[in-house]
Structure 1
Amino acid sequence: MIKRIAILIAALLAFPAQALANDLEGVWALKIDDAVIFLFELDQAEDGTWGGRWTRPAEFGTNGAVFARMSGSTTLEAAGGAEREGAVRLVFRERGQSNVFQFEQTGEHQVRMTYVDTPLEPFPLIRVPPGTAIGPFEDGRIYDRDNAVIEEPYVEPAPAPESETFEDVEASDLAEESAALDERDEPTDDSGLGDDFLSDLDAEPAAVEADPVEDVLSGDEMTEERACADLQGETPPSVAELDDLWGDDYEQIGSGLDIREYTLSNGDTARVTILGERIYVNRCGAEG
Structure 2
Amino acid sequence: KAIFDNNLTYLTNDNFSSQFNADWANKLLICIDEVLFNKEELTERIKYLSTTDYNKLEAKGKDKREVEFFAKFILCSNNEDNFIKIDSDETRFWVLKIPSLKTEEIQFLERLKEEIPAFLFYLQHRELATAHKTRMWFTPEQINTNALKNLMRNNRNRVEKELASILLSLMETFDVDEVNLCPLDALQVLNRTRIRTDLTQLRQILKKDWKLNNQDNSRKYQKMVIWQDGGLELIPTKGRYYTIEKSFLLRHFEDLENDETMRE
Normalising to structure 1: TM-score of the pair? Answer: 0.26
Greater helix fraction, Structure 1 or Structure 2: 2
Greater strand fraction, Structure 1 or Structure 2: 1
Which is greater in Rg? 1
Normalising to structure 2: TM-score of the pair? Answer: 0.28
